[in-house]
Copies of this chain bind each other. A is one copy, B any other.
Amino acid sequence: MTQLELARDGTLSAAMRAVAEEEGLDPEQVRSGVADGSIVIPANINHKGVEPCGIGTGLRTKVNANIGTSSDHGDANTELEKLQAAASAQADTVMDLSTGGDITAIRRAIIASTSLPLGTVPLYQAGIKAIDRWGSIVAMPVDHLFAAIQEQAEDGVDFMTVHCGVTQKAVSRLRQSPRVTDVVSRGGAFLIGWMLHNDQENPLYEHYDRLLDIARRYDVTLSLGDGLRPGSLSDASDRPQIEELLTIGELVERSREAGVQVMVEGPGHMPLDQIATNVQLEKLVCKGAPFYVLGPLVTDVGAGYDHISAAIGGAIAAAYGADYLCYVTPSEHLSLPEPKDVREGVIATRLAAHAGDIVKGVKGARDWDLKMSIARKNLDWQEQLRLALDSTRATESRAQHDTSGSGCSMCGQYCAMELVAEYLGTRPVQC
């Protein structure tokens, strides 16, 4: 039985208990969230040693790091290094988006070496093997796609991005609503090529029940991908994007009926004042399904700093209800990330998630900031460095210069904290 089926049956699984303990919540709250679909716990029955991670309403906003080879670069060792970088920066989950080298071997190496829940996009493997075997992705037989899904489910993949909402109807809306950047999702692009060439419906939509069967067997959580997500501010919140979301909403309900855990992916590139609306729309149209957003990037011109652009959008999204942020690295739009980019991306996204959690009222979020502020007031540097989002970086930065005072080298002898304590007569505060 899947976590969803167990929860509906009133069973408190070990995974639900673990999530509740990690979040400091009543296990019953987690069970009830899984039962109504507002929480998912991606944990394939074949992923030995996976640490259950809850994603959804009332829980800490989670952070995903994408790793994986491209056709140009990367091998299993490099990807394992990136996996290590993501884990040490405290990503909650990892996705392997490999499209180069021995995709199956790389995925198996990653699964074997991490307890983080792992996600994939099986269409990448299917499409690239189709190109190898038949010269083009459009020649891919439907069975070949489902064989890749089956193989990955058996291997223990915990959640899969499947672009089921890219239907012929959505493509038709796309033709009627010209975009600046058309389609920027690789999965979406693969499928649209296949659909137009073969004049057939999206196989992931057409054969959705077949997908549900596999997902249910291994308790793979479906992550309904947004193949038509906007790739520029100009295209944000347009009719093709919302058309796809409506279909995804229907597929969420079918997934839940089948006992399959499901979440929904969101944009993309978006002016910051559209983010709250997009989150609310997803929650309404998709009946409270956990929302997994990529960015959103609040400007198109930040190449080299898209982790910051995404942190701005991600913080706002999380504050208004997004449950899960996919990181963006500084190399987005420019090159395949290196391990150092992975670290920067994870930390910036964790910062955004936490800023959102403060607003959401997630348990423990404000306490962390309060403890830091008390340590700051007390000029307790050991505690400040310990509590910093990234203690390593904070420690390095503090060591950049010596200081003569008990503050830091920025204000030297003239630390406001010290001056005011003297004149206002305030005392060190307690937590």
A282-306 at interface with B (beta carbon < 8 Å): 298-305
Q: Is A193 a contact partner of B308 (Cβ separation < 8 A)?
A: no
> Smallest distance from the beta carbon of A82 to chain B beta carbons, Å?
13
A315-333 at interface with B (beta carbon < 8 Å): 315-316, 319, 330-333
Q: A32 contacts the other chain (Cβ, under 8 Å)?
A: no
Q: A181 contacts the other chain (Cβ, under 8 Å)?
A: yes
A416 to chain B: closest residue by CB: B189
Q: Residues of B contacting A402 with CB < 8 Å?
A: 72
Q: Is A305 a contact partner of B404 (Cβ separation < 8 A)?
A: no
Q: Residues of B contacting A302 with CB < 8 Å?
A: 351, 388-389
Q: Residues of B contacting A347 with CB < 8 Å?
A: 305
> Smallest distance from the beta carbon of A299 to chain B beta carbons, Å?
5
Given contacts A420-B183, A424-B183, contact A359 B397 (CB under 8 A): no
Q: Please, how many residues of chain A have a CB less than 8 angstroms from a CB on the other chain?
A: 114
Q: Residues of B contacting A71 with CB < 8 Å?
A: 404-405, 411-414
> Smallest distance from the beta carbon of A412 to chain B beta carbons, Å?
3
Q: Is A410 a contact partner of B182 (Cβ separation < 8 A)?
A: no
Q: Residues of B contacting A196 with CB < 8 Å?
A: 423-424
Add 4 more A-B contacts to A183-B420, A189-B423, A302-B388 (CB < 8 A): A72-B401, A193-B419, A231-B416, A301-B387
Q: Residues of B contacting A366 with CB < 8 Å?
A: 233-234
The listed residue with most B CB atoms (<10 A of its CB), out of A137, A192, A304, A412, is A304
Q: A421 contacts the other chain (Cβ, under 8 Å)?
A: yes
Question: Which stretch from A142-150, A211-219, A371-379 is at the chain B interface?
Answer: A371-379
A307 to chain B: closest residue by CB: B308
- Residue-wise, chain A 208-244 has the 8 Å CB interface mask toward B (1 for contact) of 0000000000000000000000011111000000000
- CA A350 – CA B201 in complex, angstroms? 45
Q: Is A429 a contact partner of B180 (Cβ separation < 8 A)?
A: yes
Question: Which stretch from A56-64, A107-115, A253-261, A334-342 is at the chain B interface?
Answer: A334-342
Q: A44 contacts the other chain (Cβ, under 8 Å)?
A: no
Q: A368 contacts the other chain (Cβ, under 8 Å)?
A: yes
- CA A124 – CA B413 in complex, angstroms? 12
Q: Is B193 a contact partner of A410 (Cβ separation < 8 A)?
A: no
Q: Is A334 a contact partner of B70 (Cβ separation < 8 A)?
A: no
Given contacts A70-B412, A394-B303, A416-B188, contact A233 B400 (CB under 8 A): no
Q: Is A336 a contact partner of B186 (Cβ separation < 8 A)?
A: no
Q: A311 contacts the other chain (Cβ, under 8 Å)?
A: yes
Q: A99 contacts the other chain (Cβ, under 8 Å)?
A: yes
Q: Is B369 a contact partner of A334 (Cβ separation < 8 A)?
A: no
Q: Is A369 a contact partner of B299 (Cβ separation < 8 A)?
A: yes
The listed residue with most B CB atoms (<10 A of its CB), out of A182, A387, A416, is A416
Q: A384 contacts the other chain (Cβ, under 8 Å)?
A: yes
A381 to chain B: closest residue by CB: B334
A175-205 at interface with B (beta carbon < 8 Å): 175, 180-186, 188-190, 192-193, 196-197
Q: Residues of B contacting A193 with CB < 8 Å?
A: 419-420, 422-423
Q: Is A401 a contact partner of B335 (Cβ separation < 8 A)?
A: yes
Q: A25 contacts the other chain (Cβ, under 8 Å)?
A: no
Q: A45 contacts the other chain (Cβ, under 8 Å)?
A: no
- Residue-wise, chain A 162-185 has the 8 Å CB interface mask toward B (1 for contact) of 000000000000110000111111
Q: A352 contacts the other chain (Cβ, under 8 Å)?
A: yes
Q: Is B397 a contact partner of A303 (Cβ separation < 8 A)?
A: yes
Contact of A304 among B369, B388, B410, B421 (CB under 8 A): B388
Given contacts A416-B184, A421-B182, contact A376 B304 (CB under 8 A): no
- CA A181 – CA B128 in complex, angstroms? 57
Q: A398 contacts the other chain (Cβ, under 8 Å)?
A: yes
